[in-house]
Structures are given as C-alpha cells and as structure tokens.
C-alpha cells in the first residue's frame, strides 16, 4: 500500500500552486479504513494565507469525517520533512503515526510524528 500512497503524494505534488517559492509539495494521508486523502501546497501573495500539503490532506480528511489515520507520505523535490506548523498539526490530529518522506524518485526517509516533534504537546496535555 505504501507504493500507492507514494504515487498519490507525488501526483498531488504536481497539482501544487507555488508561484512564489517554486517549492511544490504533495501529501497522501491514509485512514484506518484504507481511504487516501491527497493534499498539495497552495500559496498566496499574502504569505500567511498559504497552506501546506500536509495540512490540506489532514483538513480534507477531517472535513470528510475521518479521525483515524495510519500513514502519511510527503513528497517534495528533495525529500525534506514537514515544517514546524505541520508537525504540530500532524501530532494534534494523528498522534503517533508513521511518516514517509519521498523525493521525485522514491523513499528518502521513514520517520514518525514523535520523531519529527519530540516532546510534543496537544489537547491531552491541556486537560481537555
């Protein structure tokens, strides 16, 4: 199944809108029932309105009623990891989840949300 997630993330990357940074990112989020939600980054001239691929996939899944995730793949030109904001959102919405980082040719790194955001905090730490 991971090869399908990689393909979905790489395909989503080609749909990204990044006229300012030229940094195209795609993501694929798998749910516990096997559904896959793609995401791509969408930039805006007002930079703070930009949304990353990882958050696009997560928010789309949540909007569809999904809440149980099993794997996230992030595709970039060179296999870099998610930004800090995405790391926090991934932790908040997914908890511990495997994350695969890929470049244009395939897998670069296998990691997890807790490795990307050590000593993370979330709603469980706020007494919610």
Instruction: Spell out the residues 6+ positions from residue 71 whose beta carbon is closer than 8 angstroms to its own.
Output: 1, 2, 5, 29, 30, 97, 98, 99, 100
H or E segment and range at residue 61: helix 53-63
Instruction: Out of 43, 54, 66, 96, pick the active-site residue.
Output: 54
State residue 19 phi and psi, 5-degree precision.
-70, -15
| Helical pair 53-63 and 84-94, crossing angle rounded to 10 deg | 30
User: Residue 110 catalytic?
Assistant: no
Q: Which residues are catalytic?
A: 54
């Amino acid at each position: 199944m991971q090869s399908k997630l990689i393909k979905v993330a790489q395909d989503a990357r080609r749909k990204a809108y990044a006229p300012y940074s030229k940094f195209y990112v795609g993501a694929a989020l798998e749910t516990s029932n096997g559904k896959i939600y793609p995401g791509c980054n969408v930039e805006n001239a007002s930079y703070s309105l930009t949304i990353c691929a990882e958050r696009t996939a997560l928010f789309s899944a949540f909007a569809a009623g999904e809440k149980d995730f099993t794997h996230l793949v992030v595709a970039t030109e060179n296999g870099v990891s998610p930004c800090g904001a995405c790391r926090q959102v991934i932790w908040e919405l997914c908890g511990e989840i495997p994350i695969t980082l890929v470049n244009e040719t395939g897998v670069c790194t296998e990691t997890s949300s807790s490795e990307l955001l050590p000593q993370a905090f979330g709603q469980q730490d706020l007494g919610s």
